[in-house]
Amino acid sequence: MEINSIVNKYVNETNSKFYLVFVNGILANDYCRYPQQLSLSSKQDKTVIDIDDNADLSDPISILHLLDDSTKDWKITLNLGSSSRATILEKTISCGESANEYQVKCFLKLNLTANSKLEYVKALGDSQNVTHLGTSSADLADNATLNAFIFTSGCKLAQNNVSVNLHKENAMAFVNGLYITRQTQRCENFCEIKHLTANTGSNQIFKGVLTDSSYGDFNGKIFIAPKAHSSNSSQMCNNLLLSNQAKVNAKPELEIYCDDVKATHGVAIGQMSEEELFYLQTRGIQKDTAKKILCSGFVQDALELIESEQLKAHLSSLVEVTLGQMMDQL
């Protein structure tokens, strides 16, 4: 595996200033570059990332996982200091050249202390031979904010398990995602947010684009404890099916033990609008191009949920390539 060339290519493509490099789950410290307000400790496949109090890390920090075609697992813990700000992109890059199937198990633990804010973006673009099992949990203190976005494409099976606990007042969690599947790919998203005290807020928006015989699953749950009055939460999952064989299962859940709250949820599953497609064709746009325009419009508002302009541009380019490959095969 040519680590230097892979990292340099990524840095040049994304204009990244800071990055942590892991090779098959093991921290490769010699290839890392990170700010002084961040410290690392690592033992085999377990790594702890600490960000100082009052740190303002405006430049995104990339966590790059370089993977060959062998089974592996790892655990990362991120501790965000009080009143600190950080933006993280976690991305997998498959480097194996064989057709062997393999499995990845990864665990991420986020600890957000008082008044901290974290934007966390995960981009899964693994080989079609990989089963990716991801588990993430987050604990938020008072006035802490988590803005998370998960983009999934390419895996044989991708499973994203997310659990967020809002422990203190004015903690806010935004957990959003986009999945694009084709052929026989399968993507499963499980997200649970627990409102454990008063005056907390959460929002979940997931979108899926599916074609061929692929399958998508969204199971979102909002739990509001008896003492969590004045909490506000919402869930929405929208899916666009581009073939009759593609299937999706969307199940939003509300478990509420307090009356003084606001909680909403919704699901939409449908196919491309023939009326909108016809309208674009009457304006002289070719049918294939019109389909791409409608698909791009469907996913764009999900991408707008990413606050970092640098990460939004990177994800937009990944989505454009993925949709282009999908549309070329329709």
Q: What is the pLDDT of residues 47-62, one digit of tens each?
A: 999 999 999 998 999 9
Q: Nearest-5° angle of CA 302, CA 307, CA 308?
A: 120
Residue 39: CB atoms within 10 Å = 12
pLDDT at 307: 96
Residues 11-29: tens digit of each pLDDT: 888 889 999 999 999 999 9
Tell which residue, 97, 243, 215, has the closest CA to residue 159: 215
Region 314-328 average pLDDT: 88
* Residue 330 burial (CB count, 10 A): 14
> What pLDDT digit, counting tens, does each position of 163-206 carry?
999 999 999 999 999 999 999 999 999 999 999 999 999 999 99
Q: In this model, does residue 74 exceed pLDDT 90?
A: yes
Distance (Å, rounded) from C-alpha 225 to C-alpha 105?
31
* Burial (CB count <10 Å: 0-12, 13-18, 19+), residue 199: middle
> Strand 232-241 relative to strand 61-67: parallel, antiparallel, unpaired?
unpaired
pLDDT tens-place string over residues 255-284: 999 989 999 999 999 998 888 888 888 888
120-138 pLDDT tens trace: 999 987 678 889 999 999 9
The answer on pLDDT for 291 being more than 90 is no
Asked whether residue 1 carries a pLDDT value surpassing 80, the answer given is no
The C-alpha atoms of residue 308 and residue 110 are separated, in whole angstroms, by 19
154 pLDDT more than 90: no
Contact call for residues 88 and 118 (beta carbons, < 8 A) = yes
Instruction: Return the pLDDT at 254.
Output: 94
CB atoms under 10 Å from CB of 157, counted, come to 17
What pLDDT does residue 72 have?
Answer: 84
Percent of the chain's residues with pLDDT above 90: 76
pLDDT at 224 over 80: yes
Contact in structure between 240 and 270 (CB atoms under 8 Å): yes
- Whether residue 69 has pLDDT greater than 90: no
Confidence class for position 96, pLDDT limits 50, 70, 90: low
- pLDDT at 145 > cutoff 70: yes
Q: What are the helix (H) ranges across 253-308?
A: 274-282, 287-303
The bridge status of strand 38-43 relative to strand 46-51 is antiparallel
Compute the chain's Rg from CA coordinates: 20
Query: Alpha-carbon distance 231 to 263, whole Å?
Result: 8
Asked whether the CA dihedral 258, 259, 264, 265 is positive or negative, the reply is positive
Cα 264 to Cα 252: distance, rounded to the nearest angstrom: 10
